A and B are shown apart, each in its own frame.
Chain A
Amino acid sequence: MSEFIAFLASSVAPSLAATLAPILALIRKELLAIVKDPASRAILFAPALVQSLLFGYGATYDLTHAPYAVLDQSHGAAASELLARLDGTGVFYRATTLTAPRQIAEVIDAEAALMVLSIPPDFENRLARGQQAPLQMILDGRNSSTAGAAAGYVGAIVADYNKTRTGGAGITVERRAWFNPNLESRWNIMPALIAALSMLQTLLLAALSVAREREQGTFDQLLVTPLTPMQILIGKALPSILIGLIQSTIIFLVIRFWFRIPMNGSVWLMYGGLILFNCAAVGIGLSISALALSMQQAMLYTFLLIMPLMLLSGLLTPVRNMPAVLQIATYANPLRFGISIVRRVYLEGAGLADVAPDFVPLLAIAALTLPLAAWLFRNRLA
């Protein structure tokens, strides 16, 4: 195949062919080294599928069927109606019905319920007398975000209930959400995974590629071939970028066709962003690879980087919530911009003009790290 391409190329432009042919041969060799046995192939492609399914269902901040418990000491009609409204939302399900106050601590401690609603004996009477009737809501704060969400739901249901009782006056908030009508966190997290999951593996792939050859001594041989460092760089970088794109595609297909999250923007623009993002990530990986003396070291440095890259990317917590200093640090993080491009193009239907500011840092990171890696290939060998 590569001979054929070389032949074709030589008939068009001999000088170009002389440059391209050895690169193509190198790329072919690299790809073979990565996917030559079934186990390696499986490791590169199966996880993308499994993870996107698992995380698609598991990674959510939304309450969907949150367990709660009730201690109803009033046994009145008002309490029943309120609880029926709660059960009717589909957000909560009643895990247990308690009979004594001491059981509250038991179910919360054992994580059997996210919250307990305690309705005092005089609840019904107070309401009938026109007084305020306190309803106690005990939340498990070990996960403060679900606790906060649960409190919000209960508050809204109770407010609604009060309004129907007292005739209602005041302000109604009419909420409409752009790009994600039901505010599902899956819509927010899954597109980010198109960039995040593939980056982890391509970074590691690139980091190990040169380190492995150095450990096995074959990198010296590569350096004495007529290949220039730039040619070696391209030969090493392209296979990783290609594999990253295939992984992203698998995740993208799962999100689009299994989870049916509608895509508003241009697929081409998203892929343009992903290619640039992969170049930046692979540039970092190859620089690590050139610095590391062994595969062990390459892996160590990669793992050292992966955590900050993940945490400071906006994947799990919004970048805007971070302190100013760390927000500046995220400019060196390709994942932040990769996620931003994919999310904005996918969900918001952003055009090139909208996401161009995200392209610039990626371009800068790629333009810095790729030549750095090429330079290190030669200069770290002595």
Chain B
Amino acid sequence: MSPASGFRRRFTALLRKEVRQMLRDRSNLAVGLLLPVLLILLFGYGLSLDVQNAPVAVALEDSSPSAREVASGLQGSHYLAPVWVNNMAEAQALMRAGKVDGIVRIPMDFSRQLAAGEARVQLLLNGADSTTATAVEGYVGGALGTWAQHQADRAGGKPAALGSVLVVQRMWFNEAGNSTWYLVPGLLVLVLTLIGAFLTSLLIAREWERGTLESLFVTPVRPLELVLAKVAPYLVVGAINIVSCLLAARLLFAVPIRGSLWIILLASLLYLLVSLLLGLFISGLTRSQFKASQMALLLSFLPAMMLSGFVFDLRNVPVVIQLVSKILPATHFMSLIKTLFLAGDNWPQILSNCGVLLLYAVVLTFATRRTLRKTLD
């Protein structure tokens, strides 16, 4: 018998066993297919960084027409929902109770100051939610700026001796600045990370705990064959998830897919493989289901969510954190998938990121194989 046919025979036998095992416990498969659907819906409909209708208390202490006009300027935008109050005490009570995100105070001497050229408006923000606070600051500033501009146009009077700078803003890849567009590609990364972590991280640990791995030692099965047979069935489950994520991104959330679909599929499969192998490696390394599941949570899911550039921009963090994030396969896939979705095919990036993922796949395969050496210690 040639070595190749021996490999094929042993591999198919192992594969059949793994597939049966996967199918026998339906919960595994059910969760594997249900989780992505759940996440797709949550991502598309539940997560948003776009602040809308943020309640702000407006304390109008000056009743002059210009002050009232300024205040009513806050009403026009759908980003702000002004709540009219009579005095600052009332406004502060609302803010303490968490009912409003900020307070706009138009002071008593507003119109007098305005006549003198420069008027102050006080803005108080609840910094406990800094994301919303920053957004509200921008909206209020914008609304007041628009009013001042109108005012200047209406006055029409003195032409400026010196010109002014006008910012022409162009947002590439995501013209509307819609946060769904940037969160949904990240969904693919999180789903594949989770799939890898929870489908494979217990596979070897369980066999160690039950002693079934030791019984394999007396067979001619080689560690590498075992690794491949354990990963293969879950590649199929993961592939289904990739397709459902892509369909949802395109059909439900209308996120553009500007890069080549084939490259997206290929890169996703590659990351899926890395993710499954990482789970398997953790499993072989810890040899205990308890430790394996904790490690999977700590090494794959949490870093993928917090350090991969999913919501937090990595260009903006200290170098040490950038280096740590570069160790994670998820970071490379995150950067690639966002570019492929929103920007298009960028070959230097495709090649370098896929190269890194491929390297991970090879390293993890051999690392996992080492954890399966036939020793009893």
A residues contacting B by CB (< 8 A) are: 39-40, 43-44, 47, 51, 54-55, 57-67, 78, 82, 108-111, 114, 126-149, 151-152, 154-156, 158-159, 161-162, 165-185, 187-188, 197, 200-201, 204-205, 208, 212, 292, 294-297, 299-304, 306-308, 310-312, 316-318, 320-323, 326, 343-344, 347-348, 354
Contacts and interface: CB of A to CB of B under 8 A. Distances in A.
B86 to A, nearest CB: 20
B309 to A, nearest CB: 8
Given A174-B121, A304-B38, A111 B315 contact: yes
A110 B131 contact: no
Given A58-B325, A175-B137, A184 B130 contact: yes
Contact of B298 (A43, A141, A173, A299): A43
B120 A174 contact: yes
Given A43-B294, A43-B298, A132 B125 contact: no
B318 interface: yes
B120 to A, nearest CB: 5
A112 B344 CA distance: 16
Contact of B307 (A54, A178, A204): A54
A267 B83 CA distance: 33
B169 interface: yes
A204 B297 contact: yes
B375 to A, nearest CB: 18
14 contacts: A39-B291, A51-B302, A145-B179, A159-B145, A165-B162, A174-B120, A175-B125, A177-B127, A201-B294, A201-B297, A296-B289, A312-B46, A321-B49, A326-B46
Contacts of A137: 167-170
A178 B342 CA distance: 37
Given A109-B349, A136-B170, A139-B169, A188 B31 contact: no
B98 to A, nearest CB: 8
B216 interface: no
A173 B139 CA distance: 12
B288 to A, nearest CB: 8
Contacts of B175: 141
A321 to B, nearest CB: 4
B124 A176 contact: yes
Contacts of A147: 171, 174, 177
Interface stretch (B147-155, B217-225, B233-241, B264-272): B147-155
B351 interface: no
A50 to B, nearest CB: 9
B117 A138 contact: no
A204 B286 CA distance: 16
A162 B349 CA distance: 39
A154 B314 CA distance: 20
Contacts of A47: 298
A185 B311 CA distance: 13
Interface residues of B, number: 117
Contacts of B314: 58
Interface string B201-212: 110001000000
A173 B306 contact: no
B358 interface: no
A154 B54 CA distance: 23
A343 B38 CA distance: 28
Given A61-B130, A145-B313, A297-B25, 8 more contacts: A54-B307, A114-B316, A132-B164, A139-B171, A177-B126, A299-B198, A300-B31, A304-B38
Identify the interface centre among A167, A212, A317: most chain B CB within 10 Å of its CB: A317
Interface of B: 25, 27-28, 31, 34-35, 38-39, 42-43, 45-52, 54, 70, 95-98, 114, 117-134, 137-138, 140-141, 144-145, 147-148, 151-152, 159-175, 177-179, 181-182, 190, 194, 197-198, 201-202, 206, 286, 289-291, 293-295, 297-298, 301-302, 305-307, 309, 311-318, 320-321, 324-325, 335, 338-339, 342-343, 346, 348-349
Contacts of A307: 35, 38-39, 42, 190, 194
A276 B81 CA distance: 34
A321 B343 CA distance: 27
Contacts of A292: 27
Contacts of A200: 297, 302
Contact of A208 (B290, B312, B349): B290
A62 B312 CA distance: 9
Given A55-B306, A140-B172, A170 B133 contact: no
Given A142-B173, A176-B124, A58 B131 contact: no
B128 A316 contact: no
Contacts of A127: 162-165
Nearest to B145: A159
Contacts of B133: 177, 180, 183
